[in-house]
């Protein structure tokens, strides 16, 4: 038990450090960055996952990513926050689940790549730049909804879809609740929280990012 507790504490410290660094780099996302409580996954996921209220973390997963550099944790954490901020969780309803998950991951990673912040790691790989470029031929801003429609039209072969899933994976979407199975009061509370965080972020980006960063434009949209 003591060893498990120690690993969980290390995982929490890793997340807290990422949260603090992201606060410093993206102050306009302050409300969003404080929008999730942290709890050990206890087998619920082997990565990180959220239901819109709690971020569940696997300590071993965080430690493994941390060895690649703190930027890897910063990126994974902000990736999950952006899913919530852009309301990807609830919008999964009536869409092909795996393709929607992939579309959301591509949209969020394009934002992170567009922000071009040192705290989020290196520049995007050529494969990513190629995909973003081909998608922008069909849409001005890479939103999950637009990407989903385009990938659905392309009817990707299974191996290509799997390759993209590996490339853009950062968190587990298994706790997303597209069918609204949670109680109505909780759903409304969650929607109000992320609506307020979105409005606050929008206000900040209107002054900080307007017309300067593709990532900022995507979040704004």
Evaluate whether 45 touches 71 at the Cβ level (below 8 Å): no
pLDDT at 200 over 90: no
pLDDT at 37 over 80: yes
Residue-level pLDDT at 1: 47
Residue 219 pLDDT grade (very low, low, confident, very high; cuts 50, 70, 90): low
Q: What is the pLDDT of residue 166?
A: 96
C-alpha distances (whole Å) from 9 to each of 15, 55, 114, 149, 204 are: 10, 15, 32, 41, 33
pLDDT of 207 higher than 70: no
What would the two tokens of residue 159 be? 């191996």
pLDDT tens sequence across 141-182: 999 999 999 999 999 999 999 999 999 999 999 998 755 555
Does the pLDDT of residue 194 top 80, yes or no? yes
155 SS3 class = coil
Average pLDDT value for residue range 111-130: 89
* Average pLDDT estimate for 112-125: 88
CA atoms within 13 A on the CB side of 106: 31
What is the predicted pLDDT for the residue at 105? 98
Confidence band for 6, pLDDT divided at 50, 70 and 90: confident
């Amino acid at each position: 038990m003591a060893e498990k507790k120690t690993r969980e504490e290390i995982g929490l410290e890793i997340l807290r450090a990422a949260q603090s660094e992201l606060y410093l780099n993206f102050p306009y996302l302050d409300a969003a960055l404080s929008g999730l409580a942290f709890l050990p996954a206890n087998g619920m996921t082997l990565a990180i996952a959220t239901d819109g209220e709690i971020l569940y973390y696997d300590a071993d997963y965080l430690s493994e990513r941390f060895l690649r550099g703190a930027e890897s944790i910063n990126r994974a954490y902000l990736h999950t926050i952006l899913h919530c901020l852009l309301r990807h969780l609830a919008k999964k309803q009536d869409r092909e689940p795996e393709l929607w998950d992939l579309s959301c991951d591509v949209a969020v990673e394009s934002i992170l790549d567009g922000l071009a912040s040192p705290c989020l790691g290196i520049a995007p790989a050529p494969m990513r730049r190629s995909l973003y470029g081909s998608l922008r031929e069909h849409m001005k801003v890479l939103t999950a909804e637009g990407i989903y429609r385009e990938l659905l039209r392309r009817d990707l072969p299974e191996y290509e879809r799997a390759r993209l899933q590996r490339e853009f994976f950062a968190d587990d979407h298994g706790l997303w609740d597209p069918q609204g199975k949670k109680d109505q009061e909780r759903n409304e509370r969650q929607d109000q929280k992320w609506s307020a965080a979105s409005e606050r972020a929008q206000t900040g980006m209107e002054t900080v990012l307007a017309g300067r960063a593709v990532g900022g434009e995507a979040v704004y949209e």
